[in-house]
Structure 1
Amino acid sequence: MTVQITSPTIPLIVDLDGTLLRSDLLLETGMAFVRHKPLSLFKPFIWLTKGKVALKEGLAHATHIDVSVLPFDPAVIELIEVERRTGRTVVLATASHYSLAERIAEHLQLFDLVLASDSKRNLSAHRKRDLLVEHYSEQGFDYVGNSHDDVPVWAVARKAYVVNPESGVERGARAQGNVEQVIHSNPSRAKDWLKALRLHQWMKNALIFVPLMAAHQLTNPMLLWQGVLAFLFFGLCASSVYLLNDLLDLADDRHHHSKRHRPFAAGRLSIKSGLQLFPVLLVGAFSGAAWLLPWEFSGTLIAYYILTLAYSLSLKRQMAIDVIALAALYTLRIIAGAAAFGLELTFWILAFSMFMFLSLALVKRYAELREARRKGDTGKTRGRGYYPADLEMISSLGASSGYLAVMVLALYIHDQATTGLYAHPQVIWLACPLLLFWITRVWMLTHRGQMHDDPVVFAIRDRSSLVVGALFGLVFWVAA
């Protein structure tokens, strides 16, 4: 990026939300409030009845935002640093609350003065324009901004710097005739949305077809079509949950070694866009399910959504409850499949899935704690209910849970209903050593630090896991 250096006698005024910061502090504090005080959700609406100023002040005082991990725009910071080296005065002027702006200025050490909203004034649009004119006169400052609210400020500035403009903003700024530079440092990319929606996680929804396979009905075209619809609607619901979860977990994700690169945490996608999309996906999922599939499927989908929401807001921070909830979320996919196909679930499927998915949930926790121990952390892991010292216990619980799933499979072979369902039920015994090998390998790789945070994603990408999965399916095909 080429930075234009101007006269140091003219102050440079820099906006915060969407300009210096690839986020919006009002939405940041709003999501933090919902995350930590979900039972007080009515309070922001009460504050809003008193005006936007009261809302900003209430949220600023009711939440704690770690400004050190916020997604600042490096291109804007470079512009400020270059201008400061010329001796130029740089001012932070923002509609965000003064307490937050002051903490950001103290952290960055880039500003000579902070102008921000307080309990009496919302410093945005024409109010910001009037204050800057009062301080520096018309044409007495240069201004860096990004939004429609900044257009009236550019109208009285000497030069306009436009950063990652919202739709139509660049055109409005250029109409003023004083645009010095347009900075595109944070372009919207399709792959960011694909990552945020986590389409690769839709592979988990293949569990919906497990009841169909267990009932030997995979060749039934009508049931297969229902399965495809169930897969789609469950995926839309899951993606909606992923978006909401990422928005609620912004603070924790930014402190995580890998999750800090997620699109919302890194500021590549705006909180506003996520808040707009997640209800659309949710409505699409439930509308389609209610219209095209049995009501039992919709009921299971509601249970999945409620449990996921409870997990995001609270359960994920409760020791033991979190992994049981994760295992239940996997199992609910199988239950949803049975509901979509109108098939009965057997004791064996439910028992096997709970033990297996509990093991995988513990793999995920082990991988997180191992990384924390590697960094030398000894305290409770952020956003979780575990300590790095819990590693040995978690591995013991996880491996034993996986082996219990194998035992359930072995007992299933001798069930009377099984012998009537398969032509050669004794062949299923071959599936037991395959599953033992896979569980043992997964836990050994996890112990060595070679496991992805999500074991399901790992399995999809791991060649050995894919081979084991193919052989596992072949065993049941031969048995049938």
Structure 2
Amino acid sequence: MAKIKHMKPLVLDVDGTFLRTDILFECFWAALGKDPIRTLRVSVSNLNAPARLKAELAEISSLRTDLLPVETEVVKLSTDAKADGREVILASASHHPLVVQLAKDHDLSERIFASDGRTNLKGAHKADVLVEAFGEAGFDYAGNASVDRAVWAKADHAIVVRDTASARQIEARGQPLTQVKGGWRLADVLRSFRPHQWVKNVLLLLPMIAAHAFDAGTIFAAFMGIIAFSAAASSIYLVNDLLDLEADRLHATKHKRPFASGAVPIPIGMLCFVLLAAIALGVASSLSWAFLGVVAFYMALSLAYSLKLKRMRWVDIAVLASLYTLRVVAGAAATGIYISGYLLVFIFPVFLALGCVKRLTELTLATTDERLPGRGYGRADRPDLLNVAGLGVVAALVAFFLYSFTEQAIGLYKTRWLIWVAEIPLAWWLIRMVSLGWHGKQDYDPIVFAMKDKRGIGLILMTLAIMFYAAGLWQTWFSAL
């Protein structure tokens, strides 16, 4: 990258140039998390007034500019320019107070050019303002989009961030040019879908396993349901990450997530949300109206959780347990299998306990005594979380025991007392999960941890093996060989 050696000011665009993100979209999602109704009303009413839209969203969002991810090569250019004694100025279509604060955060010039709530400083208008301040060819300019071509045309040296088409055009007219390459990668987009979380959707197989319905049609319907639920879950993970940008940037590990780090632009995430939601609802409608209803309700509840409920202590854990339980209901709806009420009464407290384990793990691994960002729990809540987790374990085991006396259990299991034996490894697994969470010895997500935990998997397989034997399935399968 060629070093610029004259003393003209270096003017930097902000969105997509100095920053790896866009302040307008940052404000929208931060505001949506604080006041969804007002944010949507402001956004719709000011679609044709971008300067006013930016001002109102900035007011709602209270955005922390010091946390916004920067483009390292552009920051290096600005650092080198300052070392040479040059003035480094931000010129942006973003709202003026936010640009001023961003300049302070990075020790840049106090002279700022930005939108003021009435005028949107973009394209030709930005070019006119800069020419008025410095004269034609009196400044160098760094930008990242075709709208910046009007400004590059008036600059002495053009610094182009990722916009290859504009760079070729500038190079063709012989203007001095510096290119900063990069951009988002498909791998990072796929990472934002959290595919490792899809393993949770094996819960849709539980009704099929509980009913011992292993015919090809049922298996196909269950796996189609898993595809729909995986797309639905990923669409909500995208929304959750966009709403949690500030909290993630303050987190020890979550700051590396694609949107928090700026690896993937926010508009790409919004587009992927629409596509994944369409896939989820489309596949669901092809199975049954009942399954479509469950998927739609799951997405609505997940959105409510992301927008508000996850910030409500204790309510968040109950909603998490409900979302996991809905996966079991979805499995029944996708396959048309009847599920016993006892199964749901068993499943909910299991996931209530695991929801507490999730928070226990986060608090145990936290490096300070401050409350978890965006969650409201502190280390003082650990004993209460442990107690609720313990109650969940007891309630689940009692429900499992009572199920053994139902007509469905009597019909399915020839050796019914073995159901009680199967409760031993199940209890061991649940108590072990709570203990590991208390001591901070597992992943931030207990379900993902459970799918990788060899000892825990062994206990679950032991439980299933005993229950299959009690049902006479082993005898049936092996006698057919």
TM bucket (normalised to shorter chain) is over 0.9
Q: Measure the CA separation in 1 of the matches of 2:377 and 2:148.
A: 46
Note the C-alpha offset of 1:471. Answer: 2.0
Could you say which residue in structure 1 is the equivalent of 2:331? 337
Q: 1:430 aligns with which of 395, 402, 421?
A: 421
Contact kept, 8 Å, 2:12 with 2:91, in 1: the verdict is yes
Amino acid aligned to 1:390? D
Pair 1:4 & 2:16 matched: no
Written as runs of structure 1 = structure 2, the 5 A alignment for 1:244-283 is 244-283=239-278
Written as runs of structure 1 = structure 2, the 5 A alignment for 1:138-217 is 138-165=136-163, 168-184=165-181, 186-217=182-213
Contact kept, 8 Å, 2:369 with 2:378, in 1: the verdict is no
Corresponding residue SS for 1:26: helix
Q: Deviations over 1:135-162 (max 9, x none)?
A: 2222221111111111221122111112
Which shows bigger deviation, 441-450 or 310-319? 441-450
Could you say which residue in structure 2 is the equivalent of 1:288? 283
Could you say which residue in structure 1 is the equivalent of 2:47? 48
Contact kept, 8 Å, 1:362 with 1:398, in 2: the verdict is yes
Q: 2:458 aligns with which of 447, 467, 478?
A: 467
Note the C-alpha offset of 1:205. Answer: 1.0
Q: Measure the CA separation in 2 of the matches of 1:54 and 1:187.
A: 29
Amino acid aligned to 1:183? V
Written as runs of structure 1 = structure 2, the 5 A alignment for 1:24-423 is 24-40=22-38, 41-49=40-48, 51-165=49-163, 168-184=165-181, 186-218=182-214, 220-290=215-285, 292-372=286-366, 374-377=367-370, 380-423=371-414
C-alpha RMSD of the superposition: 1.7
Corresponding residue SS for 1:343: coil
Q: 2:441 aligns with which of 437, 446, 450?
A: 450
Gaps of 5+ in 1: none
Corresponding residue SS for 1:225: helix
| Change in 2 beyond 3 A, CA 1:478/1:79 | same
Which ranges of 4 or more aligned residues in structure 1 deviate by more than 6 Å? Answer: none
| Change in 2 beyond 3 A, CA 1:170/1:442 | farther
| Change in 2 beyond 3 A, CA 1:177/1:441 | farther
Could you say which residue in structure 1 is the equivalent of 2:474? none
Corresponding residue SS for 1:213: helix
Q: What's the TM-score once normalised by structure 1's chain length?
A: 0.94
Q: Measure the CA separation in 2 of the matches of 1:168 and 1:405.
A: 61
Q: Measure the CA separation in 1 of the matches of 2:147 and 2:393.
A: 56
Q: Measure the CA separation in 2 of the matches of 1:200 and 1:120.
A: 46
Which shows bigger deviation, 357-366 or 460-469? 460-469
| Change in 2 beyond 3 A, CA 1:366/1:183 | same
Q: What's the TM-score once normalised by structure 2's chain length?
A: 0.94
Q: Measure the CA separation in 1 of the matches of 2:464 and 2:36.
A: 44
Note the C-alpha offset of 1:465. Answer: 2.0
Q: Measure the CA separation in 1 of the matches of 2:176 and 2:409.
A: 75
- Taking only the aligned residue pairs, the percentage that are identical comes to 36
Q: Measure the CA separation in 2 of the matches of 1:302 and 1:336.
A: 11
Contact kept, 8 Å, 1:209 with 1:337, in 2: the verdict is yes
Q: Measure the CA separation in 1 of the matches of 2:315 and 2:170.
A: 53
Note the C-alpha offset of 1:407. Answer: 2.5
Q: Deviations over 1:223-280 (max 9, x none)?
A: 1111111111111111111111111111221122221111001110111111111011
Note the C-alpha offset of 1:355. Answer: 0.7
Note the C-alpha offset of 1:123. Answer: 0.9
Q: Measure the CA separation in 2 of the matches of 1:415 and 1:259.
A: 45
Corresponding residue SS for 1:265: coil
Q: Measure the CA separation in 1 of the matches of 2:326 and 2:193.
A: 20
Q: Measure the CA separation in 2 of the matches of 1:176 and 1:384.
A: 54
Note the C-alpha offset of 1:176. Answer: 4.1
Q: Measure the CA separation in 2 of the matches of 1:381 and 1:472.
A: 35
Corresponding residue SS for 1:18: helix
Contact kept, 8 Å, 2:361 with 2:439, in 1: the verdict is no
Note the C-alpha offset of 1:182. Answer: 1.5
Q: Deviations over 1:306-345 (max 9, x none)?
A: 1111111111111211111000000001111111111222
Q: Deviations over 1:187-209 (max 9, x none)?
A: 42333122210111111111111
Could you say which residue in structure 2 is the equivalent of 1:14? 12
Corresponding residue SS for 1:39: helix
Which shows bigger deviation, 380-389 or 236-245? 380-389
Note the C-alpha offset of 1:216. Answer: 0.8
Aligned residues: 470
Q: Measure the CA separation in 2 of the matches of 1:216 and 1:419.
A: 14
Q: Deviations over 1:389-424 (max 9, x none)?
A: 111110121133123212322232333431221122
Q: Measure the CA separation in 2 of the matches of 1:183 and 1:39.
A: 39
Amino acid aligned to 1:312? S
Note the C-alpha offset of 1:179. Answer: 4.7
Q: Deviations over 1:8-38 (max 9, x none)?
A: x211111100011111011111112221111
Amino acid aligned to 2:267? K
Gaps of 5+ in 2: 472-481
Note the C-alpha offset of 1:111. Answer: 2.5
| Change in 2 beyond 3 A, CA 1:90/1:428 | same
Q: Measure the CA separation in 2 of the matches of 1:393 and 1:157.
A: 62
Q: Measure the CA separation in 2 of the matches of 1:407 and 1:389.
A: 29
Q: Measure the CA separation in 2 of the matches of 1:440 and 1:176.
A: 71
Contact kept, 8 Å, 1:95 with 1:117, in 2: the verdict is yes
Amino acid aligned to 1:452? D
Q: Measure the CA separation in 2 of the matches of 1:231 and 1:449.
A: 30
Q: Measure the CA separation in 2 of the matches of 1:144 and 1:47.
A: 29
